[in-house]
Structure 1
Amino acid sequence: MKKLWKCYYYASEGVDYVTDFSINHFLSKDSAEYELLLFDCLSTPSMRLYSEGSTVTRFKKIEALADYPIARRHLFSCAFSGENCGRCEKCTRNLLSLDLLGKLDQFSKVYDIDFYKSHRARYINYLYINRKDHYFEELYGLFMERGDADLRQVRGFMKLVKRFDALWGMDQPDSDRKAVALLSPYESENYRAAIRMAKAYETGRGVLPSEERRRACLELVADHYREEVSSGFEMSRIGLFDALWKLNDPDSYGEMLSVLYPLARIERPRACVRIARMYMEGRGVEKDPDSAVEWMRKSPASRNKFALEYCGMLLATDSEENHAEAVDLCIERFDETGDPELCVLISGILSEGKGSVRDMDAAVDWMRKAYAAQPNTYCWQYADILMKSGRDIDFYEVINVCFKLYDRHGSSKACEVISDIYRLGRGVEKDTNAAVAWMGKAAELEPVKYVRRYESVLDAAGAPRYYAEAAGMCRSRLEDGGSPAFSALLARLCRDGRGVEKDLGEAVRLMRAAYKWRPQWYAKEYVGILLESGDEFGVAEAARVVGSDLGLVDDPAHCSAIGDAYRLGKGVEKDLDKAVAWMGKAESKDSRYLGDYCDLLMSIGDQKSYAEVLRACRKDAKKRAAPESMAIIARLYRDGRGVEKNMKESVAWMRGAMAQDPDKYRSEFVGILFESGRDQDVEEAAGLCKGRYDQVADPGMCAKISHLYHEGKGVGADQEEAVDWMRRAMSLDPDGYSEAYYSLVAKTGPVGLDGFLDECKASYESTGFASYALIIASIYRDGNGVPKDPDLAARWMEKAVFTDPPGDFLGYCRFMESLGDPYAIAAVERCERHYDETKDKAVCKTISEMYRTGTGVKKDIRKASEWMGRCWGV
């Protein structure tokens, strides 16, 4: 082939190689910018490559070719396909050039001229957007000279857009309103207006925020680009993707991927950047910073236009090499551009030690550069990094920065930071007075934002005088018109008696004022204070507010509180139906209130309530497999409440609860297995108990195994084993199982009684537990391992009952009756003497019962009534 060509002339892009030629950072540039050097490197001794026609513009070249017959049949310019698509940038440029020359129809064999004419407005719009681009600048000027009507119309509307952007950039309420007034009439018909109005509805600048209208605007933008994509404008895929990205609807993630795929497949830079974002945020694909980095690297703009975003992706990976690349790229770009945002990123990298050794001094220095370049923009990031350094000298610099911000702009945030520094004593001497005063300034400047912070500083200070000062400030501001935030703060002070006399009525009045001022902000607090007031009006008003259209019915805490008020009759007439209704609302919004709801229904105790408990718990168990709900269902089946008793179902539900939370429900599950009485269930219970003991030596499991052997369930009855297992339980938890151990030994008779009485007495002496005295009394009465001794039995029984607090008087009398009449008579006399000495009404009922039944005394109904009257204070 080299014998056929000696020279190859490449049509130059028309780049200015004289006044703006540089090979710095050439990898991120279009190769046309350095093709002079590139072609020389690619040339060989037998064939030279030349960049030709660099002094002639693209339009002039088309003009020269326009009358060339071969060009009219074979001109090819497309960047996308094997034949001219008529939509890409190169085809667009040629079509606009031919339009200017009036030669469109002559090129109908190489371009779809009918399509161009039917979509001419779109081409003209593209020309206007790119009017400052090197390749379109000349064309735009020529169209303007010709006075093109379509361009004039586009230009007229774009003046409105440009004016909007200028006003919006001022970031002032008045300018925002003016900006919105310019484009709001066009938001439903022009995609450029819709893009900007979507931003206004999102931020609430110049217009009330509205998610519905924001989405409507973005849907219009998406439909505009969908139409362009369907017409073959490939690069409109980017606009469609961006609109769908802002909508952020998971149902559209598939469309986002399919829209970008044709461009990403051929590695179009802007498409690669957007695929990278999808991987970075996990939209439509699994989140993967490494894949995001790979896609971003496919875009040449990753190292210039998108350098900040690319660095963020590099830092999100776990690769130290990527971190180091981010550091180098940031420094490189800063040297080129001086962009202070790069200083911020470098500072963050150094403060975290990513890609380099952590260096707070260097981090502060880099942030200082950003602050020096744009003080208003980076003042708070500078303050944050200074405080992050932790050095007093840096805190001192922060406070000076904040003083300047307060003096120049009246910054409320500056007041907050100054207050915090004085409160902590960092860089300055700790000063509570100054901390309170500066936070008070912040609250006065922005009450809604800082009154709560002001209140927390007051609480930290703790001195009554600060609360009094705060109350005075609130009253003063309220007299001047004030803010609901001050009314709410004064209400809290009155509610708690901080700095003012406690007055719930005044607290309700003040919070009601705040609520009427800003219902959405203060409804919850208003309801809380109403419920705390505890009167009938308060609870009824709270119920009205919660049931209003403020969305507070979604607050389960308030619904629960109102339910409690009706359940207890607190401030309102007791009404269990209303209590159930309100508690049901709480439970329907938050499953954490299911337990309270079920407790309320269970306390009512009828089958209808039990059935509702079963329904609510079944629903909760199905929704989130909650072990608490499963356990309640198991108990209902066990007891036959709200449903027919069914131990098999009870076992199944409690098994589910134990599977979710073994430690909490194992013991109860074992109990239900025992209670079911089925051999396989009892055997399973025995296996669970022994297995649990082998794992953690659980005293509860030892006790259950003891009961198994004692009752002969699942294992052969064996009293020695029963005593042995209960002894193990006692050794693991003496306080919890000593009584059970001694009680079991006493029941078993002679088995295990060697030395038992002495152990029991020693335990009584060391603990004073009445249960030990009761066991000893029973042993002497029954003669278990010792001779029967009613006197000792009576003496130990008195120790068991006449304690502080006293024990079961009726049981005492019944026990003494079992010893014989003399002891029964003595028991009644002892009870009467106890009443004379202590006026303990608890004993009156027992004495009344003795006279009523004639136990230990002569039966006497009159005396029985007298003693019962003493019991009730009659």
Structure 2
Amino acid sequence: MKAPAYSNDMGLAGHGPRAKAGLAGAALAVGLAFAAPVAAQGPAPRALGPNADFSKICTPAATPKLTRDWSKWDKAQPVSDPEEMFAAAVAYAEGSATINRDPVTSRRLLEDLADRAWAGRGRAHFRLAKLLLDPIAGPVDPERAAKHLATATSMLNMDASVLLARLHADGLIAGASVREAERLLRAASTAGHVEGVTGLARLQLSGRLGAVPRAESDDLVKLALQMLYGDLAKGKCSALYEIASILSSQDLVPGGLPEAVKWFEAAARQGEAKADLALAEIYLQERVKAAPDVLMKHLGRAATAGEPRAMTLLGERFLLGDRAPKDFARAVSWLERAGLHADPEAYRLLSRHYRGEFGASSDLPKAADALMKATNLPGHNASILVGLARLHAAGLNGKPDLETALTFYRRAVARGDVGSLTEMAKLLLTQPQASRSGEPLKLLGEAADRGHPEAMGVLSDLYACSMIVAQDRAQSRAWLERAASAGHVRSILTLASLADADASGRKTVEALQRAVERGDRESMVLLSLAYRSGRGVPQDEALANRWREAALAPGEGRTRALLLLARRMLNGDDGSRDENAARPLLEQAAQEGESGAQFELGRLLVMRGDKADVPRGVQLLQQAASAGNAAAMMALAEAPAEQIRLTGRTALEWRRAAVEAGSARAAIVLASSAKDDGEAARWLSRAETLPVCTARDMVDLAQAYHKVPGTNHEDRARHWLHRALDEVRAGSKDPAVMFLVGRAMIEGVGGTADKTEAIAFIERAADAGRSEAMRYLGRGHAAGQWGESNVKAAIGWFSKSLQRGDGSVAADLSRIAAVPGSEGTEAVTVLKANAESGFAPAMREYGRCLQLGFGIPPEPETGASWLRKAAEAGDTAAMKELSRAYASGYGVELSAKASTEWLQRAAQAGDQEAMYGLSLAMTLGFGTDVNAVAAQEWLKSAEGIARK
């Protein structure tokens, strides 16, 4: 059972005996400023408020003097001074500016001291128990800790009594009892132990002791503050930090944080590094606002004084550029120092830095080295091993090392990480030659039996579409429902899409609420959206805001919540698409190393095409790819040549990497673009070993088999097309897939020849708004592809496509207009209506119809005016038409100069034909001066486009 880390130092032997007055009944008039007079060294201030000059009354804590290097001590060496040995153990347990934290050495010393007969034996048992409860020191063991605490308690060590009470109160040990916790805390309180008093107050306030008047608990808090004030008056400056800690606790002192900050600042002025760290964390969490330089000042002082967590936080700030400029050198320096203080988180951050997550160049061997250093620390957890497994699966030097990756995954499983079973299975699914028959399925089954939702979701996918098990829709649905019940977000959404609207909303919310109870952040996002929209629950803006805040609060799972919310905004799932709102969410998640966010943000920046953003977009895609994101690899493969060059790889290399990462789509693309049939057959065979789970991939795989000769390829084409048909017939509503399936059927892929059903699919896609389906139907009807030509139907589909912004069909309409008959007039009418609405391709084709008399009496001048409007709107084809008109004087004044000027505008817009024409004009001096150099440059540009 896992126990929390108790980081506060409760002293060595409590606060000593005090008067055994009744603790709960006395109403002690103790204010936060404490106005009582004190006896102290030197003149005492009238009131010891947080702004007092405590340097006049405080006695500095004694610094232990170590006469030997205790890290090298072994039992063979004599111990003349157990107190020095104990002081060394404490120093190694906590770390300082002069001693690196070393929990292993501390534990070794304390285990000897706990068995040694000396006056401080109880303190040794207490300190040893604290180490057993601290994850930094190794696996947490509450039961062993409880035994040492019981021994220390029997020796009247009140620190041990308080810590043992916490184990009882939190139910972390066998036989845990709230009443025993109360007894131990009352004993410590009676002995004058401040932590005992505040612990008893907390237990009362929790309600587990029954109804206790709030005033009684408040009196305990006041008593604790009075006791600390007494310590402070005696010159014990450590009381400043303890006073602040009480005031900062919302359950003990509601609204006490602003006053707590003042006391933490007082403690920090006296050199208390823990106070500097506490202030930094308060400011970092924005519980209290502070200027960036104030936060950095406190972090810097705590780190310099030897606080390992401060070192890690400081390094992280420099990595992120958060509250300070980015400074990788300083970040690495602080993180390496924190690593020497046994902080695995520091090495994890270093590994992320070397993976290039924060903007530095990627160095995967160094990333792996940082994680290997973390594995040598007693407090490393399974996530370190998983990180190493992923690095080796991706390949430290570009070549995946499957065996090493599996070794680290197995070590993570041995440490209790169930998710590693699922990751192992997914890795083996992408490398079927490396696994024994049925091994991935066995691993997923074990993970699912141990409650891992992702394993259940993968099993659902496998039974739906994998080649390693027979397709079984009932099994797939059963795993899908089980995964959704376990809180698997993707399964919840898939299940919702398969159900009717009303039932879907209710069932989805019920599944989300179960997942939220287990702390799933993505489910909190979806529950927030449900309350905002009123789908499945009554609309409630307050609850929507509450669940959104909970989902995005700092902590584990936040990055996945940020990514999910951003994706919903980008997809327009909950209304209109909102790229501006999604981008800051993606920025945060990407900065925290979420590869999915790096992919989405990188793709967004690249698609925008802003020259300033494109290099960063490519870098983010590379970072996601280096983390094994196959979609990012495919995005890089499909990027323009100048962007791919930035990555140092070719499109072919990125597609091959995507195949290795498990992308069936990448294998299908490689098969479709293969240079010879043998190579295509090899990639098709590889695609068959990977999960082909979407109807689109099934159609594309069928198309690829159809194009490549082979003895069984037509059978495989038929198999995959029928799989896609099953998906569509089962209720798939994706219009793009319906279009692809219909077109493949018409083309006879797999010998399928039901054209009636094929056209019905394409019409459903067109009715759903797919312009390519409208265009296909229009051209098919115009050409008589499915029987007699039906020009009227063709014009209807072309008109709809044109209204959807498909400029390519404007030329189809002008071709119909050129054929004598009544349909030509109808086509011109459609073009005119769209031209008058300002659509440039329609302006161009309507102008051509007027110029040439297609479906309408010729009006060359009017036609040329429409061509000019289209050209001025940026239509390059219109620019070339207008250039030809000026060259011939048709509808405009004959002008070689105007002709070449419009040709140049088309060339500058990137038109290859215009570039060739402009090169010739500059060579001949047609409408421009002869310029052989410029002519040659335009020719090179045109040839460059041809090569692409």
Q: TM-score, normalised by structure 1?
A: 0.42
Determine which structure has greater relative contact order: mean sequence separation of CA pairs < 8 Å that are 6+ residues apart, divided by chain length.
2
Q: TM-score, normalised by structure 2?
A: 0.40
Structure ranking higher in helix proportion: 1
For the pair shown, the structure with the greater C-alpha radius of gyration is 1
